[in-house]
Structure 1
């Protein structure tokens, strides 16, 4: 009789003896989980074996549709602590006082790979943060670069199709990717980030920055407005991998590193910095300040707080896989800017979550706000928090349980708009200046590695015209940049220079 406690402590007792009683999803007890009910010892299995049917049906449905992009991801829980009172900029309560703590869930990811793909991919890294504030949830859905490949959401499906596996071979193909990029000169800046070692191939999720990419509108309690760009600075510092290190990396290297560090109490931290510009200041920029292929040059950053990740989720599926982020999920005091890419994402992200997870995806624990939800939305697949009462509309004179009314103090901000409805590109494109500045900011070694990394993919492009046109964009950004790439990819430099001198077609 004395042996049992010792065996329990040593972990030698069978898990079955310690397990809770098994039940069906309804809570009914399960008497036998190893033998199906049959008509006699040799007869067919009976359809009335409800536990068998439920078990198989649930197994058949264990996988939800994976994300079209950012399918391979890793999540962690933590906390954000505000630095000081920033109510002069925004009425968002999480920035209302120094030391205020807000729980967060963060999902890191690669973009183009499938759910089980290798993490060491030449790919932007998703950096999505969900704040569980006392005014509702706020999602900052960003990446580890400050900009993006395209400036209009209407091109996003095409961008993804060109970079996803071929519709014939199911293999990613640089011929398709650069066919698209060679007709999209605005991508030159982003490609100069993506093919660098430090930014384009992070050594870990801990050692990379995150960016909201777009400008957002901050509104204070007085209705005053200012535009902001969000930047997560890694306290651990930045570290990248060379092409050789990328090829040798463990397919799960980034997840292992993040989870091992959290479990060893080496909690990774990021400081949230914000750039701020008024509408008048944005209008004075030499480029379009709402173009997400551009950075705000020489605009100082203000520290808003620090985020610490301190917990590995207990269940990958329930947290990381079912987590759903959408840039339209905002709190009072944070609103969209006119950025065309952001405007499209406001619809697309929430819409894909409704398709992927279900209409009521925000009722799941990882997506559920900490505040009470009260509105007239109802029913739909997987509704677990149905509204109460028969007054499921507004306005109403009824004072019944379940009736809800808007709060006028949280009306969205007002701002002037003008012009003619049109379908045209922005006026100030300037696709190459910042790409050239970025190239010249790199060290000699970083420049050499960038050329090597780009050439490794460009050399796989079979269409000479595509390759030459693509390299001509880098030549337009910086003559040395384009010349070195032309030589590395066995192109005639004079041909590349001639293409660069021509007017670039959109």
Structure 2
């Protein structure tokens, strides 16, 4: 039986190579741009004599159904769009690599993170989160920061955002959040600020990330000038089977650069694709953006003693207690050849991982493990992992066979089950789950409501705003958004922020009164 490596290289027509870079580059640049100008044909390869001609019954008669070029052209045109992403619809991407700079073998056994100087090819997609596909890049919104690493042990996706926290910490609320931050009013089909704020006010634990988004960090100048964070807690396992809780930080080497509220609105009108343009032009000009990757780590014993839950997505880990530890450098150095094939068809899921890196019991992460891959099955089809931009360097997955969208040899004659006749290789150390947490309990209706503790970190955040000159910008940004809501919603917003510090609600109240007089 052929090895998995020889099989995939045979199917893709790529010569075997010890370099994952050469394989990955071949996979992601298979396009007409790599060849001479091709002969124009129909979809079945039949040459077309005149692409601008139609076949008709006489000069002024009706069109003939036998005009295969016309029917082929129109039929494809009617189907040339795929559903946009439910969230993260508007985005830009680029290829690059991760280079290990520091030894972290005591923390993780994952092959791609071990060996100083080791490089792993990657694809990174930036995005706005709540907007539609036509959303301006400068919209006030969190930003997606999704990375696909093509490692020798499989594809691992880091589905990050540009904030170290998030609005919710309970997985069942994930669809509600997207509905209220993205969806339109069912009656008017208009964006509804009342719906937007009502969800946040009904879930006061969201106030920490609300403060982040309504600071100028909510409108980054470009994708190159923002940090990325796992936000979720993961488990990294070393070769001895011992795990640490880990959060990942990707700190921009270009420095943080943001837009104020008015600059962001101006770009919506003047250059709504500003961030995508900036990313493309910087790479095309040889100015390759980079990020330094750090981790925060916590032992299981430290997690038990912490005064917050490591599974709480609305909290940050204090860096004084859990300092940053450098891991690697991430560099983007190549633009896509085809936006649709490489950016639009890219598909990410936090469930895609490699030995040594596992999900934690974070409730929102647990919901995302299923949701992300499932939405791609709907959007791209059940075999979306076979698309070149999503395909692992080598794989034999016997249960993922047949069905629509197979783009390779479908594993040839190899059986699609663990066969005794052509036995498969198994990696006995691929998982160390038996050495990890052991969960015992009854099925429980879980609701993680807000408490007074949810206002502690926002109070610290407010003091940071005052020390960094973001105080006025935050007040202005919130009240500019809230002024369009109903009076009862405005009252609830003031009540929420007064729980952090009465000073905030007083400043907001004054700002709202001033804006009302101007209108």
TM-score normalised by the chain length of structure 1: 0.89
Is the Cα contact below 8 Å between 2:205 and 2:450 reproduced in 1?
no
2:494 and 2:160 mapped to 1: Cα distance? 28
Tell me, in whole angstroms, the C-alpha distance in 1 between the residues paired with 2:346 and 2:38.
28
8 Å CA contact retained: 2:295, 2:324: yes
Matched residue, 2:312? 291
For the residue of structure 2 that corresponds to 1:206, the secondary structure is: helix
The yes-or-no answer on 1:113 pairing with 2:131 is yes
**After superposition, where does 1:293-442 map in structure 2 within 5 Å?**
293-298=314-319, 299-385=322-408, 386-389=410-413, 391-394=415-418, 396-399=419-422, 404-414=424-434, 415=436, 416-426=438-448, 429=451, 430-442=453-465
**Structure 2 counterparts to residues 3-152 of structure 1, below 5 A:** 19-152=37-170
Over aligned residue pairs, what C-alpha RMSD do you find?
Answer: 1.8
> Which residue of structure 2 lines up, in the alignment, with residue 233 of structure 1?
251
Displacement of 1:487 in angstroms is 2.8
Q: Which residue of 2 aligns with 1:281?
A: 302
- 1:177 and 2:200 matched: no
Is the 1:374–1:404 contact (alpha carbons within 8 Å) kept by the matching residues of 2? no
1:469 deviates by: 2.2
1:181, 1:470 within 8 Å by CA — same for their partners in 2?
no
For residues 148 and 449 of structure 1, the distance between their equivalents in structure 2, rounded to whole angstroms, comes to: 21
Q: Is the Cα contact below 8 Å between 1:287 and 1:428 reproduced in 2?
A: no
Instruction: Note if 1:462 corresponds to 2:486.
Output: yes
Post-superposition offset of 1:288: 1.3
What do the CA deviations read for 1:294-324 (whole angstroms, capped 9, x no partner)? 1111320111101111111111111111111
Change (3 A) 1:390 1:125: closer
Deviation of the 1:207 alpha carbon: 0.5
What corresponds to 2:474 in structure 1? 450
Task: Give 1:487's aligned residue.
Answer: 510
Aligned to 1:262: 283
2:31: which partner in 1?
Answer: none
Could you tell me whether the CA contact under 8 Å between 2:244 and 2:298 is conserved in 1?
yes
SS of the counterpart of 1:131? strand
**SS of 2:371's equivalent?**
helix
What is the distance in 1 between the residues matched to 2:66 and 2:425? 48
Structure 1 stretch displaced more, 125-134 or 244-253:
244-253
* Cα offset, 1:481, TM superposition: 2.1
Q: What SS does the corresponding residue of 1:275 show, helix, strand or coil?
A: strand
Q: Is the 8 A contact 2:250 2:291 kept in 1?
A: yes
Q: Which residue of 2 aligns with 1:188?
A: 207
Tell me, yes or no, if the aligned pair for 2:236 and 2:244 is still in contact at 8 Å: yes
Partners of 1:376 and 1:404 within 8 A in 2: no
Structure 2 CA distance, aligned partners of 1:427 and 1:55? 55
Write the distance in 1 (CA, Å) between the matches of 2:367 and 2:336. Answer: 31
CA contact (8 A) 1:360 1:381 kept: yes
Offset, 1:114: 1.4
Displacement, 1:160? 1.3
**Following the alignment from structure 2 to structure 1, what is the Cα–Cα distance between the partners of residues 352 and 249?**
18
How many Å separate the matches in 2 of 1:146 and 1:237?
Answer: 17
The offset of 1:48, in angstroms, is 2.1
Q: Shift in Å at residue 241 of structure 1?
A: 1.1
- Residue 8 of structure 1 is matched in structure 2 by none
Separation (CA, whole Å) in 2 of partners of 1:351 and 1:443: 43
What is the rounded CA distance, in whole Å, between the counterparts of 1:440 and 1:84 in structure 2?
Answer: 34
Q: How many residues are treated as equivalent by the alignment?
A: 468
Counterparts of 2:384 and 2:198 in 1: how far apart (Å)? 37
Judge conservation of contact 2:398–2:415 (CA < 8 Å) in 1. Answer: no
Contact 2:100 2:117 in 1 (8 A): yes
- Structure 1 distance, partners of 2:498, 2:163, is 22
CA distance 1:432–1:297, change in 2 (3 Å):
same
Counterpart CA distance in 1 for 2:255 and 2:123 is 21
Query: CA 1:437–1:352 in structure 2 vs 1: closer, same or farther (change >3 Å)?
Result: same
Which string of whole-angstrom CA distances, capped at 9 and with x for unpartnered residues, describes residues 185-211 of structure 1? 0110001100001x2110111110001
Query: Is contact 1:219–1:413 with CA below 8 Å preserved after alignment?
Result: no
